[in-house]
């Protein structure tokens, strides 16, 4: 059985003072659940020096270097102390116009640097209501999947766009169906890759979601900003 993986995503939140939350989170980490937190680029180094678990970035550029003002490479985040990065989050796909090809390139850059990638996919409410959810998400998987995809360096996070930060949560049945479809779309390496669910994961709904079929963990947004809200999700993953 794959170990559960609970990853936090602070998004554009946090400060040096906020890193105190990592102390309590670290005290709650055991060797039964993998825990990690992605923080803004400015906090990667101090967070990595403080945390007792892996710290990651929230995005990375596909190229190793070059004229890309304001961007950071995989080697740069690694040097700062990052062990992984999120790629393809819907907020970047939608607001920054990232394509599946962009996401694939970023994941492959992380592999070159020896870092882990959490690759995000998900559908809009309109696509779900039209009965297109599985087709949309599996198409994203096939187009975004990096070369050499395997569980030792890649996880997939299913985040229905309509559930991110809205308080709406997919039903356990919907999550199980989508994760089964993703597992099939991944092909022969699918069994080695951990599938995470994201989308308004909280202490109240974590237990049901984390122990659904084909769910290997969670990618947690707002609830990862404080230890008080994040620790119960970690504890739910142990149950």
pLDDT of amino acid 165: 78
pLDDT in tens, 138-163: 999 999 999 999 999 999 999 999 88
Q: Which of 236, 239, 211, 225 is nearest to 47 (CA)?
A: 225
Residue 210's pLDDT is what? 96
Task: Please enumerate in sequence order all residues whose Cβ is within 8 A of that of 5, keeping only pairs 6 or more positions apart, or say none.
Answer: 33, 34, 35, 36, 155, 194, 196, 216, 217, 218
DSSP string, 55-76: EEES---SSSSSS-TT---HHH
Euclidean distance between CA atoms 158 and 199, whole angstroms: 8
Domain ranges of the chain: 4-238
> Tell me, what's the pLDDT at 26?
97
pLDDT score for 239 = 77
Could you say which of 3.40.630.30, 2.40.30.20, 3.90.25.10, 3.20.20.70 is the CATH number of the domain covering 4-238?
A: 3.20.20.70
**Confidence (pLDDT) at 29:** 94
168 annotated as ligand-binding: no
Q: Which residues pair with 136 in a beta bridge?
A: none
Report the Cα–Cα distance between both ends of the chain, in Å, rounded.
Answer: 14
Q: Is 159 a catalytic residue?
A: yes
Q: Is 162 annotated as a binding residue?
A: no
State yes or no: 63 annotated in a binding site.
Answer: no
* Identified catalytic residue from 21, 58, 89, 179: 89
Along the 239 residues of the chain, how does pLDDT read in single tens digits?
689 999 999 999 999 999 999 999 999 999 999 999 999 999 999 999 999 999 999 999 999 999 999 999 999 999 999 999 999 999 999 999 999 999 999 999 999 999 999 999 999 999 999 999 999 999 999 999 999 999 999 999 999 998 887 877 789 999 999 999 999 999 987 899 999 999 889 999 999 999 999 999 999 999 999 999 999 999 999 97
The structure's pTM equals: 0.96
- Measure the CA–CA gap between 205 and 233, rounded to whole angstroms: 9
DSSP state letters, 186-221: HGGGGGGSEEEEESS--TTTHHHHHTSTT--EEEES
Among residues 176, 181, 183, the alpha carbon closest in space to that of 197 is found at: 176
114 in a labelled binding site: no
The pLDDT score that the predictor gives to residue 199 is: 87
- Looking at residue 214, what is its pLDDT? 95
For 162, phi then psi, to 5°, come to -70, -10
């Amino acid at each position: 059985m794959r170990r559960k993986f609970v990853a936090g995503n602070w998004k554009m939140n946090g400060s040096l003072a906020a890193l105190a939350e990592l102390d309590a989170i670290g005290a709650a980490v055991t060797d039964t659940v993998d825990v990690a937190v992605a923080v803004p680029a400015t906090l990667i180094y101090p967070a990595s020096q403080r945390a007792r678990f892996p710290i990651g970035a929230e995005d990375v550029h596909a190229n190793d270097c070059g004229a890309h003002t304001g961007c950071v490479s995989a080697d740069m985040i690694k040097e700062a102390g990052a062990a992984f990065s999120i790629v393809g989050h819907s907020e970047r796909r939608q607001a920054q116009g990232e394509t599946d090809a962009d996401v694939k390139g970023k994941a492959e850059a992380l592999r070159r640097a020896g870092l882990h990638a959490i690759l995000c996919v998900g559908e809009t409410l309109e696509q779900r209501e039209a009965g297109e959810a599985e087709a949309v998400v599996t198409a994203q998987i096939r187009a975004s999947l990096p070369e050499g995809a395997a569980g030792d360096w890649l996880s997939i996070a299913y985040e229905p766009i309509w559930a991110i930060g809205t308080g709406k949560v997919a039903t356990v049945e919907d999550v199980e169906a989508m994760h089964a479809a993703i597992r099939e779309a991944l092909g022969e390496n699918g069994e080695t890759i951990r599938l995470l669910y994201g989308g308004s994961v909280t202490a109240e709904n974590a237990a049901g979601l984390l122990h659904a079929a084909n769910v290997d963990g969670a990618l947690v947004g707002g609830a990862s900003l404080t230890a008080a809200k994040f620790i119960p999700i970690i504890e739910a993953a142990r149950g």
